[in-house]
């Protein structure tokens, strides 16, 4: 057993207006801590990118307060959110999250441009949806054509009329027939050059990634709140058999700020039988 708190760590600003408000040393230190992939350069398994999830929950495991995640966040969590976006080729979300959280394109003020791989543009957002109902996501669909335009990942059988309409506002990627085949989708994203994938939820999308052995890393902020109530957890999926192996997480680092805990885990699937 080791004491990890209190110790010296990155100097988080008290408030987080824009990326420009940080000391360069803070940005450098966080970039070192959150460098891409397991060894700072890994890009996932053959045929797909490295998939890192970023989530926040309460101490009692709630993934929302009053239906949204914002009430659980704080300055340090928002800092890590910006750092992970700065290091990502693409931000992946389920449509439930995009609708509830009113997703919009990644903003330049949320990014440290010096951290972008090969000087690439801002990461686009990719939304996974079968229904193609993206109400509440109007801003997300307003990104201009080009490398930052939103990607909609859907099925070959999704409503054709909606697909045609969205085709004018987003890039459409098809993977799977009735449900999006997440493995196939990651393969298609890799083919487009997106190898560092930041999955920002929600729990049902993360459940599928974990269930398929496709989630490589979890960055989890624990907010100093007892939420109680009935909010769900950060990963949800149908129950696995009682004797089935579970993914194992190894702790890469723990940071703390203002009673928040910020953990980075790497995920292993030793002996794990995937269901997809």
Binding site for ligand NAP (CB under 6 A): 55-57, 63-64, 67-69, 72, 93-97, 100-101, 128-131, 133, 179-180, 182, 200-205, 208
Least CB distance from residue 154 to ligand NAP, whole Å?
Answer: 7
CB of 72 within 8 A of CB of 58? yes
**Torsion angle of alpha carbons 146, 150, 193, 88, nearest 10°?**
110
What single DSSP character describes residue 68? B
Residue placing its CB nearer to ligand NAP in the complex, 101 or 217:
101
- Cβ distance to ligand NAP smaller for residue 69 or 196: 69
Which segments of 192-261 does DSSP mark as H helices, in order? 203-211
CA 64 to CA 223: how far, in whole Å?
11
Task: Give 1 or 160: the residue with its C-beta nearer to ligand NAP.
Answer: 160
| DSSP summary character for residue 146 | S
166-193 per-residue burial string, b: 16 or more CB within 10 A, e: under 16: beebbbebbbbeeebbbbbbbebbbeee
What's the CA gap between 250 and 272, in Å, rounded?
A: 16
89/200 with CB nearer ligand NAP: 200
Give the shortest CB-7-to-ligand NAP separation in angstroms: 26
- Tell me the closest approach of the beta carbon of residue 122 to ligand NAP, in angstroms: 20
**Least distance in angstroms from the C-beta of 247 to ligand NAP:** 18
CB of 99 to ligand NAP, least distance (A): 8
Residue 49 vs 203, nearer CB to ligand NAP: 203
Three-class secondary structure of residue 160 per DSSP: helix
């Amino acid at each position: 057993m080791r004491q990890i708190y209190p110790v010296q760590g990155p100097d988080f600003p008290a408030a987080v207006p824009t990326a420009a408000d940080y000391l360069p040393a803070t940005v450098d230190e966080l970039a070192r801590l959150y460098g891409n992939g397991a060894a700072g350069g890994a890009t996932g398994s053959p045929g797909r990118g490295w998939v890192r999830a970023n989530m926040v929950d309460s101490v009692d495991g709630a993934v929302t307060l009053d239906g949204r995640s914002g009430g659980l966040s704080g300055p340090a969590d928002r800092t890590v959110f910006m750092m992970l976006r700065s290091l990502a080729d693409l931000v992946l979300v389920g449509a439930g999250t995009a609708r509830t959280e009113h997703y919009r394109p990644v903003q330049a003020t949320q990014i440290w441009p010096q951290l972008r791989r090969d000087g690439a543009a801002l990461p686009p957002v990719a939304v996974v949806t079968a229904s193609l109902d993206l109400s509440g996501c109007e801003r997300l669909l307003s990104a201009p054509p080009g490398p930052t335009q939103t990607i909609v990942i859907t099925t070959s059988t999704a409503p054709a009329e909606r697909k045609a309409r969205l085709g004018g506002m987003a890039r459409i990627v098809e993977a799977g027939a009735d449900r999006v085949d997440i493995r196939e989708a990651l393969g298609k994203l890799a083919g487009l050059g997106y190898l560092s994938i930041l999955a920002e939820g929600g729990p049902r999308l993360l459940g599928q990634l974990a269930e398929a052995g496709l989630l490589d890393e979890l960055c989890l902020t624990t907010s100093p709140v007892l939420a109680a109530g009935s909010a769900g957890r950060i990963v949800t999926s149908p129950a696995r058999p009682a004797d089935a192996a579970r993914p194992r997480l190894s702790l890469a680092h723990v940071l703390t700020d203002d009673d928040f805990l910020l953990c980075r885990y790497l995920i292993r699937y030793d002996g794990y039988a995937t269901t997809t």
